Amino acid sequence: MASGGGRSSSFKVVLLGEGCVGKTSVVLRYCENKFNDKHITTLQASFLTKKLNITGKRVNLAIWDTAGQERFHALGPIYYRDSNGAILVYDVTDEDSFLKVKNWVKELRKMLGNDICLCIVGNKIDLDKERHVAEEEAESYAESVGARHYHTSAKLNKGIEELFLDLCKRMMETAQADERLKGSGAGQSVPSRRGVQIVDDEPQAAAAGGCCSSG
Amino acid sequence: MWMQEEVRRPHSGPQRAFSVLDRLLLTHPVWLQLSLNRDSALYILLREPVGTFLVRKCGFSHRKLLCLRATKERSPASIRELFICEEDSTFSLESSALSFPDLCRLVAFYCISRDVLPFPLQLPEVIARATSHRQLEAISHMGQEFWNASSPTENGSVDQSEEFGPKGQLVPAVAPALDLLGGPLKQGKLCFINPLFLQLELPQSQQALQTLKALQTQQQQSSHGGASTKRLRFKRSMRVRLSTDGSMHLSMEGGGSSTSSSPSRTPERPGPPEERLPQRKVHAGAGPLRRSPAVSPASLEDEELPPARAPQAAGEPVPPQQEPSVEAAVLGLDAVPTPSLAELDSSSSFSSLDEEPDQDASPPADDASASLEGFLLPPSTSTSSSPSLLQAAAPHRPPLMRSRCRGGLQRMSAAFVCFFAPEKRVTRLVEELSRDRRSAFGAMVQDFLQRQREELRRLASPSSSAGAAGGSVEVLQGLRLFLTQAKSCLLDSGELEPPLQTLVPESEQDLAMERAIFSCVLRPLKKLLDHTLVALHRLDGSSQRLAQNLLRFKGGGLERLGIRAPSGAAYDREVERVRQKLGMMQRSHSPIDKVLLLLQACKCVHKAMGSLHRQEVSWEDFLPSLTHVIVECNRPHILLEVEYMMELLEPSWLCGEGGYYLSSVYASLCLIQSLEAKAPRPPGCLAREAQEELREWGRRRGQEAQIHRESQRIQECS
């Protein structure tokens, strides 16, 4: 959920991917200051926050990690509900994990529409020699579903900063477009686009521009 | 409103005198001009004498600014603007080491002492000289118009002789001392000051005149208009004194007898010795950001507690007129065992727990007495004026007050209830207002409570079983709707006095408000609401289903989810802790407190995992472990708790850490509920109904979040 206002915005980002692809390491690497906040709990690496300053705007990221095991897949909606962004991580040496990412993309587009900014992340590029997912394939797939593709190595701390920064900018753009939409007098007719799409069973029906406004 | 009975100082006779703080609190519509832009502020202040001030909000940074006319030149350069920092529940001036529990106290302090300012702030004369509540109220009603009224003149007859009697020894100029305090220690806030009961009095001695000579000259030069003579007299009379009884002791000294209309009148003898006893007016907790200042006895009515000296100072009378050293001041501050916020919080952060079981409004005093037990004196001592008695009653404690008796707090000026964490003060004020049917907010809340009680009783009665499916969610939705409405009603009506902006830093306002509203609405309904929710869940069968599955899996069976059954003493201990947290959760009315307990419970789960694996635990194991612990705890009530939180928490909470772990517990419950013994589903698959429910919930709360954001945006624009 994005909460606006002139001064700071908050975004929710959900982290999805199979168990062993290193999604937790990616986010841990990013949020090194994870225990600096005055939060009540300092649990390990499942809910993390990050504060950013992007072109003078303060941004708070709330990053929701999820259990990667397939058997918990059905619980996904509880976690990705109302997210502004999703980071879908696969292991470049594991083709199966890339297929899992594709499943997540389908599900997210179906449930949340185009409202959510998707990042597909090929992790473990330090193991490039053992790569099993072709770079071009992954990138063209990402493009075809309106997602961005990134390469990272949590181990070498490569590409991670860029990934989150880019995601933030995109989420801010989406939120601003949202604001403009409402500002143009369409406010009343779009109580919640996200909500509309959640109940919609047609994959892309409501997703055309994510807009059902009359204005 | 609530100031009326409370502002009188014990020794000031039948007439009431107002402290600087009182005056500020009552007239905030005049000096608190948050919507004013820079030009308008300049325009106003350039017509006012040096020392006049306003608080406005910077249009660019949205931070509050103290604007002060600093020199007599009629140019924009003569207006100084200082940012007010709002951090860690305190207010402070930029570059100052002193921080305050709220804005009014900050301003009150700077009316007395200059600290980082070139000189102390000046209240507009009419405000400084008003002698009755009515006068101050009349001034307050003028709001911004006050500044447009040409030369502010006496509002009704001001009879000084009735108001100000001779009293107190003078110790000149605490201001420089505090200035020193602030000077070399800029790194962090040095101390936290609560300038209770700063008192305005008229000039009493020649010393007073001399001390502020410079100020006087300045004022004479800049004075204008007919009211200036009297205004002069007041300004010249500013005195500060510092007692070393562990509390800083500031007051403006002077005598305003009717014979003293001339500025050059002869000094009078100081008051009789017993009146010279230092009064605790300002309590300054030592150490960075001590946030739980004592309430001084002076803040109470005579019958509550007489003026008393701090016990630790009783044996060492301070020679009057001694120039206090900074060290003495600091040592004195340190000597006061102020309860720290941590202490307060540890005993009272879940103040919603031990509430009256009765559904009718329980007075907050009970809550307060519970929370503050150990810090407060028994009421019996309050009738005694002897410091030794106070000492005997609480040898190691500061002379705070105790309000064991019902309504004790209400009799005290609400604004002075400052030993609570700031947001608790907001709760107190809002609760008080919510019980006052004369206010729009109070009427709204009371009417709703009445209707809601009838509705809940109707729903809970066995005869109303028709169409009750999903009833619990509807009840909670109705409540959330009202909570939101009541909140905006309160903010729009401006009935909260002093205004929220002055009570808590901006970043904490939402939370403080949310807690306050929960307390007004959910606390009185707690018992009935619990009863009704249980009844509704019994009707739709969800409680039984969960209870059955919990029992079923307690004997094993979670292996199908890949959850292995752990064991061991350390593990059992954490499970027991979680069980306790869940029990406490059930006793609280506040969704926020519930979620905090839930976070603690999740922490225990993590510990349990650690004890199990003896190594870095990965998140992958958290959900299975949580599920296992929930099964072990075997408390089906958790279903109601989760629903309660998910429906009543403000949408923004649902995206934070609390929301995250709440979601995890919800996910665990979904797992447990969806596992059927007979027809095994692929593991982890949610029952169809569960999925539907989830979508419906997501849609609804998503809409609310949208509406919430919308309204926030509007609020910010306005």
Nearest to B703 among A2, A71, A195 (CB): A195
The overall pTM is greater than 0.90: no
User: With the CA atoms of B526, B527, B528 and B534 taken in that order, what torsion angle do they form, in degrees rounded to the nearest 10?
Assistant: 100
CA distances from B287 to B193, B374, B375, B417, B559 (A): 10, 21, 18, 21, 54
Q: Note whether A82 contacts B661, CB cutoff 8 Å.
A: no
pLDDT in tens, B570-626: 888 888 999 999 999 999 999 999 999 998 898 888 777 766 555 455 566 788 888
- Whether a cis peptide bond, with omega within 30° of 0, leads into B387 is no
Contacts of B695 in chain A (CB under 8 A): 77, 198-199
Q: Are B240 and B269 in contact (CB under 8 A)?
A: no
CA dist B204 and B239 (Å) reads: 9
In a mutational test of the B interface, the residue from A10, A11, A20, A47 whose CB has the highest number of chain B CBs within 10 Å is A47
Nearest to A77 among B694, B703, B716 (CB): B694
Segment 94-133 of chain B within 8 Å of chain A by CB: none
Contacts of A79 in chain B (CB under 8 A): 663, 667
Interaxial angle between packed helices B422-434 and B506-540, expressed in degrees from 0 to 180 and rounded to the nearest 10: 60
Q: How confident is residue A173, by pLDDT bands cut at 50, 70 and 90?
A: very high
To the nearest whole angstrom, how far is the Cα of A140 from the nearest Cα of chain B?
30
pLDDT of B495 > 90? The answer is: no
Q: Does B596 touch chain A (CB under 8 A)?
A: yes
Nearest CA in chain B to A76: B667
CA B71 to chain centre: 35
Please give the helix or strand (H or E) that residue B147 lies within, else none: helix B145-148
Q: Which residue has the tokens 């389908």?
A: A106
Specify the pLDDT at position B59.
Answer: 84
**DSSP count for chain B of H helices, then E strands:** 30, 7
Ranking B178-192, B435-449, B627-641 by mean pLDDT, the lowest is B178-192
* Cα R_g (chain A), whole angstroms: 17
To the nearest whole angstrom, how far is the Cα of A129 from the nearest Cα of chain B?
27
Between chain A and chain B, the number of residue pairs with CB atoms below 8 A apart is: 140
Q: Note whether A4 contacts B712, CB cutoff 8 Å.
A: yes
DSSP classification of residue B338: P
CA dist A78 and A80 (Å) reads: 6
Q: Does B692 touch chain A (CB under 8 A)?
A: no
CA distances from A157 to A18, A80, A103, B324, B496 (A): 20, 26, 27, 58, 51
Kindly report the average pLDDT of chain B as a whole number: 65
Nearest CA in chain B to A43: B603
Please give the helix or strand (H or E) that residue A52 lies within, else none: strand A47-54
Quote the ipTM score: 0.79
Q: How confident is residue A19, by pLDDT bands cut at 50, 70 and 90?
A: confident
Q: What pairs with residue A53 in β-bridges?
A: A58
pLDDT of A189 > 50? The answer is: no
Segment 24-53 of chain B within 8 Å of chain A by CB: none
Share of chain B above pLDDT 90, in %: 18
To the nearest whole angstrom, how far is the Cα of B356 from the nearest Cα of chain A?
27
Comparing CA positions, the residue from A71, A188, A76, A101 lying closest to residue B695 is A76
CA dist B409 and B423 (Å) reads: 16
Q: Does B713 touch chain A (CB under 8 A)?
A: yes
Comparing CA positions, the residue from B87, B94, B62 lying closest to residue A58 is B62
Q: What pairs with residue B82 in β-bridges?
A: B66
Q: Which residue has the tokens 């109580």?
A: A191
Contacts of B707 in chain A (CB under 8 A): 191
Specify the pLDDT at position B444.
Answer: 94
CA dist B705 and B54 (Å) reads: 36
CA dist B302 and B11 (Å) reads: 8
pLDDT in tens, B136-149: 888 888 888 888 87
Q: What is the average pLDDT across A132-153? A: 93
Contacts of A81 in chain B (CB under 8 A): 663, 694, 698, 702
pLDDT of B479 > 80? The answer is: yes
Comparing CA positions, the residue from A91, A105, A94 lying closest to residue A144 is A105
Segment 82-121 of chain A within 8 Å of chain B by CB: 82
To the nearest whole angstrom, how far is the Cα of B57 from the nearest Cα of chain A?
14
Comparing CA positions, the residue from B67, B29, B89 lying closest to residue B503 is B89
Q: Does A69 touch chain B (CB under 8 A)?
A: yes
pLDDT of A130 > 50? The answer is: yes
Comparing CA positions, the residue from A112, A88, A109 lying closest to residue A99 is A88
Q: What pairs with residue B193 in β-bridges?
A: B284
Q: Note whether B652 contacts A192, CB cutoff 8 Å.
A: no
Contacts of A39 in chain B (CB under 8 A): 657
Nearest CA in chain B to A61: B656
pLDDT of B334 > 80? The answer is: no
pLDDT of A105 > 50? The answer is: yes
Q: Does B618 touch chain A (CB under 8 A)?
A: yes
Contacts of B596 in chain A (CB under 8 A): 40
Q: Note whether A75 contacts B667, CB cutoff 8 Å.
A: yes
Nearest CA in chain B to A5: B713
pLDDT of B520 > 60? The answer is: yes
pLDDT of A53 > 50? The answer is: yes
Q: Does A81 touch chain B (CB under 8 A)?
A: yes
Q: Note whether B703 contacts A191, CB cutoff 8 Å.
A: yes
Q: Note whether B599 contacts A40, CB cutoff 8 Å.
A: yes
To the nearest whole angstrom, how far is the Cα of A5 from the nearest Cα of chain B?
6
DSSP classification of residue B299: G
Q: How confident is residue B160, by pLDDT bands cut at 50, 70 and 90?
A: very low
CA angle B621, B625, B630 (to 5 degrees): 155
* Cα R_g (chain B), whole angstroms: 29
CA distances from B388 to B56, B297, B445 (A): 46, 15, 45
Q: Does B714 touch chain A (CB under 8 A)?
A: no
Nearest CA in chain B to A193: B703
Q: How confident is residue B538, by pLDDT bands cut at 50, 70 and 90?
A: confident
pLDDT in tens, B296-307: 333 333 333 333
Specify the pLDDT at position A180.
Answer: 82
Q: Note whether A195 contacts B699, CB cutoff 8 Å.
A: yes
Q: Does B695 touch chain A (CB under 8 A)?
A: yes
pLDDT in tens, B644-663: 999 999 887 788 888 999 99
Contacts of A75 in chain B (CB under 8 A): 623, 667, 670-671, 684, 686
Contacts of B654 in chain A (CB under 8 A): 1, 82
Q: Note whether B712 contacts A69, CB cutoff 8 Å.
A: no
